[in-house]
Amino acid sequence: MKGIVALEDGTIFEGESFGAPGESVGEVVFNTGMTGYQEVLTDPSYKSQIVTMTYPLIGNYGVNDADIESERVQVSGFVVKEACSYPSNFTSTQPIDQYLKSANIIGVEGIDTRALTRHIRLAGAMKALIAAGDTLDTDSLVDKARAWKGLVDVDTVKEVTCNDSYAWNDIAQPESGTSFNYKVVALDYGIKYNILRILQRFGCDVTVSPASTSAEAVLAQNPDGIFLSNGPGDPAAVTYAIETIKNLIGKKPIFGICLGHQLLSLALGASTYKLKFGHHGSNHPVKDLHTNEIAITSQNHGFCVDMDSFENTGVTISHVNLNDTTCEGIADRERNVFSVQYHPEASPGPHDSGYLFREFVGRMD
């Protein structure tokens, strides 16, 4: 069956489909990770995005029940050079084609992913439509891509947050010698499971609450700390979350990751903007401005905090991206808040920045 990726600027990439038939709109982006495709597929930060993998062979170790980061596949579409039909790994339960079919997600293989990646780098991430079928009208697909609302000024968080609060109770136990000493409320803007696993490993008793939870409801639980999760889309559109965070600052230790970092920054008086093609991958170098140490990090975001907008806010820039010198972390010790743009929990990616969870625990102490 034919598979097509149609971009809003009229560019067409044609290949073969795998996964489900049909069509879907989204913002087309590229991810530079060599592994971790199942974690990418299930990362809520990819909601409403069509992900292109730059590594040419995807699916070679199959999929399994352990490597998921949310309750479902979140991407709008998946584009690869070659989708492996015969995975080889003792943990594999099914090939990626079957996995996407069961999730009703469209995949396209056989296109020049290097050319698509280069196009995005030059022109920027853009609206697109991915389609699978026997008869496809490319002009119509381009028109549908252009007509899509996009991600700017759109609240995507409401599509991925939980409906009700729940206690995280994974089989993982705290590290040896650690007990559940810290009560943490995690505000769910599209939280990844591995964040919750790591918090639990560090002795945190975590309650996950919807993004719309009020500051009063959070504080009524008397937590030792508050965690602001990752998530998709434009942070400036999630106005209710910004207002909640404003009313939490200075009352409890706060740690934010990814979208949580952006929302905390907005609540502190900064501003955000859309990056040309975003940061998506597991090999981004970030410098800690306090220690001068460099970590290789996992990243997934299309918006960024404007460093200049922190002037006269009392906030310190703690980390910068060494690829493009954008803001990767902030801290305000007086108000006991800190956040990073990247993903210290990895999944997929390196574990260089796992110490940040220990810092959060230290601040609660």
Strand, helix or coil for residue 73 = coil
The sign of the dihedral angle between the CA atoms of 130, 136, 142, 148 is negative
Q: Does 290 participate in catalysis according to the annotation?
A: no
- Whether the CB-CB separation of 125 and 28 falls below 8 Å is answered with yes
Candidate list 8, 23, 69, 345, residue with the active-site label: 345
Distance CA 252, CA 231 (A): 22
Q: Does 343 participate in catalysis according to the annotation?
A: yes
Measure Cα distances from 354 to 198, 240, 263, 321, 351 in Å.
9, 29, 21, 17, 6
Structure tokens at 240: 């209710």
Candidate list 204, 258, 304, 327, residue with the active-site label: 258
Q: Are strands 225-228 and 254-257 parallel, antiparallel or unpaired?
A: parallel
Residue type, 78: F
Q: Does 119 participate in catalysis according to the annotation?
A: no
Candidate list 279, 284, 319, 343, residue with the active-site label: 343
| Residues forming a β-bridge with 129 | 6, 25
Strand, helix or coil for residue 86 = coil
Residues 6+ positions from 157 with CB-CB distance below 8 Å? 189, 190, 211, 231, 232, 233, 238, 241, 259
Residues 6+ positions from 268 with CB-CB distance below 8 Å? 249, 310, 313, 315, 330, 332, 337
Measure Cα distances from 170 to 40, 64, 218, 275 in Å.
21, 17, 22, 35
| Active-site amino acid positions | 258, 343, 345
